[in-house]
């Protein structure tokens, strides 16, 4: 690689990182008009998501009345958002970094099964319930590490590598559990913690909020986040700028694996079980929420706030359909239409930006 090529590529990454930093910090306005800056900062994209969520709430209030606006129902929506929300935040990092992970549901199932085996529960009873948490986190991180190494160092396409993990992790979960549901109620300390309600709000909602805030800070206020934008936007330029692209890619998949493990801990607390059937089709819901939130499937652009709004839109939609006794098939059909509309909107905005 010639020095001339290198010197040309490095500013490209610097420009990418600077652009994302401007989006994140909102402190450097390179465009003249405020309207243009707001549009580039994703203001109108976020506004569109908020309006969509508000319209769904209005539809719910009109069609289901007091059953929808009841505070318990609103807490139910937030409670249902927790597992998919935590996983979708991890997925946001991977997609922003230019990858994809189809194995999140299977990793969640394997983590839930491994954390609730007889041996793990016995060890938790003899020592501390935190053993179950550490076991799930280790399994999730290990699966993410395998995915990342295969993709970054093995040069396996992300779609194929994570599809293989999807099949393997689900199969291993079935072998460990012998296709049986593992009851974990004999570790009371675990459930005392995860079913607590500080300030009247479920612990799972608090955990989702903490993960969302931590994810926002990591993506928008740290070098790790800026490198994620750079790797997703132009990996070759990022490499020439001195970023270890392969190591960063591995870290992204480990991160989403850890998020799957946290999701597994939440679902074990909710169902009191570990099962190889947990998390089925979770990968599709997580990817859909991320795309609807405005994260670019091609990489280089991502938003945690948009992902949280995307998750809330999906769970509110599910809640409205359930309260009105609508068929699941209608719900799936509408979700598909929303996903297609979100992708078409992304393409339209991208073409408009390139034209300008």
Domain assignment present for residue 42? The answer is no
Q: Which tokens hold the place of 303?
A: 């938003």
Domain assignment present for residue 309? The answer is yes
What's the pLDDT score for residue 41?
55
Domain assignment present for residue 15? The answer is no
* CATH code for the domain of 334: 1.10.3470
Cα 97 from Cα 230, distance rounded (Å)? 8
Q: What is the DSSP string of 165-204?
A: HHHHHHHHHHHHHTT--EE-TT-HHHHHHHT--GGGS-HH
Domain assignment present for residue 116? The answer is yes
Closest to 115 (Cα-Cα) out of 182, 202, 169: 182
Domain assignment present for residue 31? The answer is no
Beta bridge mates, 273: 183
Cα 265 from Cα 254, distance rounded (Å)? 17
The total number of structural domains in the chain stands at 1
pTM score, whole prediction:
0.84
What's the pLDDT score for residue 2?
40
Mean pLDDT split into 10-residue runs, the chain, 356 residues: 38 41 44 53 74 87 85 90 95 95 95 94 92 96 96 94 95 93 88 91 95 96 95 92 94 97 95 92 90 86 92 90 82 78 70 62
Q: Where are the beta strands (DSSP E) in 75-136?
A: none
**Residue ranges making up the domain that contains 297:** 83-321+329-351
Asked if 13 and 234 count as a contact pair (C-beta separation under 8 A), the reply is: yes
Phi-psi region of 180 (alpha: psi -120 to 50; beta: other; left: phi over 0): beta
Domain assignment present for residue 119? The answer is yes
Domain assignment present for residue 122? The answer is yes
Domain assignment present for residue 208? The answer is yes
b/e map of 76-110 (b: 16 or more CB within 10 Å)? ebbbbbbbbbbbbbbbbbbbbbbbbbbbbbbbbbb
């Amino acid at each position: 690689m010639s020095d001339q090529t290198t010197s040309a590529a490095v500013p490209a990454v610097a420009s990418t990182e600077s652009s994302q930093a401007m989006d994140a910090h909102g402190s450097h306005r390179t465009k003249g008009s405020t309207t243009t800056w707001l549009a580039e900062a994703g203001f109108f994209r976020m506004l569109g998501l908020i309006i969509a969520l508000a319209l769904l709430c209005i539809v719910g209030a009109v069609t289901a009345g007091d059953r929808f606006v009841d505070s318990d129902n609103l807490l139910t929506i937030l409670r249902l958002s927790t597992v998919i929300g935590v996983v979708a935040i991890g997925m946001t990092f991977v997609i922003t970094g230019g990858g994809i992970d189809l194995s999140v549901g299977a990793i969640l199932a394997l983590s839930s099964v491994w954390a609730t085996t007889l041996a793990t529960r016995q060890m938790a009873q003899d020592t501390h319930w935190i053993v179950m948490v550490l076991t799930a986190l280790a399994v999730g991180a290990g699966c993410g590490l395998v995915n990342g190494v295969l993709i970054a160092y093995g040069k396996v396409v992300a779609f194929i590598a994570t599809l293989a993990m999807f099949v393997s992790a689900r199969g291993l979960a079935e072998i460990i559990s012998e296709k049986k549901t593992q009851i974990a109620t004999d570790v009371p300390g675990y459930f005392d913690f995860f079913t607590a309600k500080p300030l009247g709000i479920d612990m799972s909602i608090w955990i989702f909020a903490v993960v969302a805030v931590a994810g926002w800070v990591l993506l928008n206020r740290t070098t790790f986040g800026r490198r994620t934008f750079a790797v997703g936007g132009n990996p070759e330029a990022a490499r020439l700028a001195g970023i270890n692209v392969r190591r960063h890619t591995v870290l992204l998949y480990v991160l989403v694996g850890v998020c799957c493990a946290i999701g597994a801990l939440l679902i074990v607390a909710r169902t009191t079980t570990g099962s190889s059937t947990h998390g089925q089709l979770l990968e599709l819901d997580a990817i859909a929420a991320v795309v609807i939130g405005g994260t670019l499937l091609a990489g280089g652009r991502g938003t945690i706030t948009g992902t949280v709004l995307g998750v809330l839109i999906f769970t509110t939609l599910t809640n409205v359909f359930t309260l009105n006794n609508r068929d699941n098939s209608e719900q799936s059909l509408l979700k598909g239409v929303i996903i297609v509309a979100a992708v078409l909107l992304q393409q339209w905005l991208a073409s408009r930006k390139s034209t300008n």
